[in-house]
Structure 1
């Protein structure tokens, strides 16, 4: 576990820590940086990876089904565990539990833990989670126009169009011109460290988390139940070892900052979600190390 902590988690922590320190020392436009990552850098990473990935359609489809099945089970568990909270807080707990940070934190960790294959599987999960977050997220927070508004938001994301373009290029057996391909690759290489810096900036501005019962409930489900549920789903679907590892690792990630952003947009329990983001991020440093240590020891189904 110590090896996983030092070799897998620590590199991500170092880069994020730089962002945290900068956030404490000077004013940084975090929103502008987040938009740069979402609308410019991540689409390049999606395009570059999907154009050159060795993951076949069957494996990708199975992984997407597994991820969505795990999210559904976690949503039900969260709703049951938060049943006694008032409605606004209950919906926020469910949203915080099902919305994992498969981008800023998940992609670098997947790369460090399982190499290029881990990154490619992690990217498939990330794309799926982005679509799910912006479509179901508003509905989970109780917005009357949630699904319709979320679908409109997804269509404005260049990530979606880059993914579709890459799939079309693969189907037609076409390649980008060399100069354009190199430019996309160059931008893609910068994405993961900038993601971690953005995470550090956000964490540095949020301060120490306030511990409440809803926050503890959401954190326990996200970090402890998440990997267990994902492992069970992977076994039921008969996923092979690399798919299983990617799914369980993705389900071990902390609550995404997007959950907090959507909570503010749709009038949810912002404080509980913000504190859950902070607490799960801190707690995940240990739980991810434990998961990374355990996964190679588990025999493939």
Structure 2
């Protein structure tokens, strides 16, 4: 089977199927999307983080190098977005910067990494996700200029249960104490529900979206996200010496569409939410092609 077709059928189709069901439900039913999103953010994702970190076989040095490569990739996409978007009005510029930089390392990044690489790839992708979800709530207010100051930003970061779940798992792992069987099974059961729910949540959000008028800022931010993102990640990995599966995981993650979090932040801070909504939709649809191509190319990476 050709690599491109294999990537489409074995990696993209399972993810698209679950998200597609969410899309149909979002069109036909009136569902509380905020509740579904909060279940994922405040209950299931922390369980996935705790369960995966406790049992992960990712070396500390590997995780640190992956984190550095992730942050440098963000720096590249953010800088390019700012340079080009300076000519647009300030609210649109901020939305282009957020839309081109903040990618969906959770809803799509985690399940696609699982299908593409197996459990080891999921563990590496979770490192990217943890850094990304914390970074979103630091970078987002900076981009959108909320005016809340560093205290507001710190409060938002510390209010994320996934951060505390990851810290608890790290401390528990360092202690060498075995997790009681009942607790371990309960957390693992919740963790298994995470990926289907986040994909359904993504589909619900897309299904509830209205009609879209495409603009130049939307197209530019979408190109930054889907084309520059993976290319920047690949170049940075080569520069800092990251190779093998960690390189492949970051390149795949950096090819993901714009995260819905960017839209939520735009609405929260009164920015150009229409542009961000357009970028989320365009990149999610475009990712069906670009992510398939990236998955097909992964075996040829160093």
TM-score range, shorter chain: over 0.9
Residue number in structure 2 paired with 1:96: 99
- 1:210-243 CA-to-partner distances (Å, cap 9, x unmatched) read 2100000100000011000000000011112111
**Residues 209 and 284 (structure 1), Cα distance of their counterparts in 2 relative to 1, 3 Å cut:** farther
Residue number in structure 1 paired with 2:58: 55
Matched, 1:238 2:252: no
Matched, 1:223 2:232: no
Residue number in structure 1 paired with 2:43: 40
Residue number in structure 2 paired with 1:175: 178
Output the CA distance in 2 between the equivalents of 1:2 and 1:255.
24
Deviation at 1:154, TM superposition (A): 1.2
Deviation at 1:171, TM superposition (A): 1.3
Deviation at 1:208, TM superposition (A): 4.6
Gaps spanning 5+ residues in structure 2: where? none
Gaps spanning 5+ residues in structure 1: where? none
Q: State TM-score, norm by structure 2.
A: 0.97
- 1:112-134 CA-to-partner distances (Å, cap 9, x unmatched) read 11111111111110010010001
The residue correspondences of 1:145-224 to structure 2 (distance < 5 A) are: 145-224=148-227
Contact (CA 8 Å) 1:138, 1:147: kept in 2 or not?
A: no
Residue number in structure 1 paired with 2:147: 144
Output the CA distance in 2 between the equivalents of 1:170 and 1:19.
36
- 1:32-86 CA-to-partner distances (Å, cap 9, x unmatched) read 0000000000000000000000111010010001000110111101101212111
Residue number in structure 2 paired with 1:124: 127
Output the CA distance in 1 between the equivalents of 2:211 and 2:237.
35
Output the CA distance in 2 between the equivalents of 1:175 and 1:94.
44
Residue number in structure 2 paired with 1:264: 267
Matched, 1:5 2:8: yes
Matched, 1:274 2:277: yes
Residue number in structure 2 paired with 1:87: 90
Output the CA distance in 2 between the equivalents of 1:107 and 1:84.
35
Output the CA distance in 1 between the equivalents of 2:212 and 2:195.
25
Runs of 4+ more than 6 Å apart: none
Matched residue SS, 2:214: coil
Between 128-137 and 207-216, the greater mean CA deviation after superposition: 207-216
**Residues 222 and 146 (structure 1), Cα distance of their counterparts in 2 relative to 1, 3 Å cut:** farther
Deviation at 1:146, TM superposition (A): 5.0
- Which of 66, 69, 76 aligns to 2:72? It is 69
CA RMSD of aligned residues (A): 0.9
Output the CA distance in 2 between the equivalents of 1:270 and 1:264.
6
- Which of 276, 284, 287 aligns to 1:284? It is 287
Between 37-46 and 76-85, the greater mean CA deviation after superposition: 76-85
Matched residue SS, 2:97: helix
Q: State TM-score, norm by structure 1.
A: 0.97
